[in-house]
Amino acid sequence: MSATHVLAGAPTDAGLTQSLGAMEGLPLGVAATHRKPGSGARALLFAVYPGLLAALTIALAATWLSQHYRVPVMLFALLFGMAFNFLHQEGRCVAGIDFVSKSVLRVGVALLGAKITAGQILGLGVMPLVTVLVAVTSTISLGALASKRFGQSRAFGVLTGGAVGICGASAALAIASILPQTEDSERDTILAVVTVTALSTIAMITYPLIAALVGLDHAQAGIFLGGTIHDVAQVVGAGYTVSPQTGDIATYVKLLRVALLLPAVLVLGLAWRGTAARSGEARGKLPFPLFLLGFAVLVAAGSFRLLPPAAVDAASALSRWCLVAAVAGLGMKTSFGALVKVGWRPVALIVTETVWIGGLVLAATLLWR
């Protein structure tokens, strides 16, 4: 065989481009410089599917490990995502990672409303309602007021106060989506999620011991655990460790805190919108969060029993997957180095907020004996 025949069989630049394009999921014959994915939904899917697929893969791995090793799934998703930070530096995954950390996140938060009903909230009685309302409001206020003393922005204080006061990682993600976006916003969100998740795990182990030490009965222990522990999963784990009655009450109290996510995010969004307007910033930077409307609609639908149990279970499961994938996406947008640089002060602020809400709810529970 002659050299001419060998060269004739070698791939040309165009052929090589087509081959590499096929490796990325592009049809053969479409050169990289002439990709025309179309428009609308097809173009969106074409742009986001590599990053979305990466986030879902991390979510699957995190879920499997969480189920087998009893470690919070959000923590696994964050750490794995951060290990794949290079995917967000450049390449075809960037658009999908941005999509999953924003749009998929909002869908997950909206679907949280499916498992909350007005009957559950009103059935708790006056004491838990007042205690939770005061605890959530004061914790967010504490974060906003104490943030400067810890060398942090007020937005970070509100973000962490909401995460500690309402429902951990889910609240952090929801509140972050309506706060003004800066170059440190995503790093701050990841830091809040990591720290709150770690503290919630510690609380799941230690708070039942505290409840037993101070002599709380099963109902009081449920109010204490549901009113203080950050994440829903850890509340359930701690509550049912004590007793089935404690677990049920703790879950309902926790869902009451989750229900406060809607008014809290709405009020905070309007407050920041007013601040932006007074400072001359464009109001369009803080649009109304439509996912809150979906949250409210699902709460109303569940309260009037318009949703069958199968639909509620499906919405809850989908919400969980969306949030885990969103956390994985946020992890891929953050590097370990960026978190290390922030130092101990933001962690100390979150610990202070955690101690505050824990002490406040415990004192209220003891006073209402």
**From CA 29, how far away is CA 20, in angstroms rounded?**
11
Give the pLDDT band (50/70/90) at residue 37.
low
- Mean pLDDT score, 268-286: 60
- Asked if the model's pLDDT at residue 31 lies above 50, the reply is no
- Asked if the model's pLDDT at residue 32 lies above 80, the reply is no
C-beta pairs of 362-365 under 8 Å, 24+ apart in sequence? 362/210, 362/214, 362/224, 362/228, 364/127, 364/130, 364/131, 364/134, 364/135, 365/131, 365/216, 365/220, 365/223, 365/224, 365/227
Which pLDDT does position 339 carry in this prediction? 64
Which residue has better confidence, 162 or 293? 162
Window from 204-208, 292-296, 303-307 with minimum mean pLDDT: 292-296
Give the pLDDT band (50/70/90) at residue 356.
very high
- Mean pLDDT score, 224-239: 86
- Mean pLDDT score, 129-142: 95
Q: What is the pTM of this model?
A: 0.70
Which pLDDT does position 338 carry in this prediction? 64
- Asked if the model's pLDDT at residue 319 lies above 80, the reply is yes
Which pLDDT does position 122 carry in this prediction? 78
Give the pLDDT band (50/70/90) at residue 56.
very high
- Mean pLDDT score, 337-366: 89
Which pLDDT does position 289 carry in this prediction? 63
- Mean pLDDT score, 47-56: 94
Give the pLDDT band (50/70/90) at residue 286.
very low
Give the pLDDT band (50/70/90) at residue 39.
low
- Asked if the model's pLDDT at residue 26 lies above 70, the reply is no
HEC profile of the chain = CCHHHHHHHCCCHHHHHHHHHHHCCCCCCCCHHHCCCCCHHHHHHHHHHHHHHHHHHHHHHHHHHHHHHCCCHHHHHHHHHHHCHHHHCCCCHHHHHHHHHHHHHHHHHHHHHHHCCHHHHHCCCHHHHHHHHHHHHHHHHHHHHHCCCCCCCHHHHHHHHHHHHHHCHHHHHHHHCCCCCCCCHHHHHHHHHHHHHHHHHHHHHHHHHHHHHCCCCHHHHHHHHHHHCCCHHHHHHHHHHHCHHHHHHHHHHHHHHHHCHHHHHHHHHHHHHHHHHHCCCCHHHCCCCHHHHHHHHHHHHHHCCCCCHHHHHHHHHHHHHHHHHHHHHHHHCCCHHHHHCCCCHHHHHHHHHHHHHHHHHHHHHHHCC
Give the pLDDT band (50/70/90) at residue 33.
very low
Window from 19-28, 175-184, 197-206, 353-362 with minimum mean pLDDT: 19-28
Which pLDDT does position 145 carry in this prediction? 95
- Asked if the model's pLDDT at residue 141 lies above 80, the reply is yes
- Asked if the model's pLDDT at residue 198 lies above 50, the reply is yes
Mean predicted lDDT score pLDDT of the chain? 81
- Asked if the model's pLDDT at residue 181 lies above 70, the reply is yes
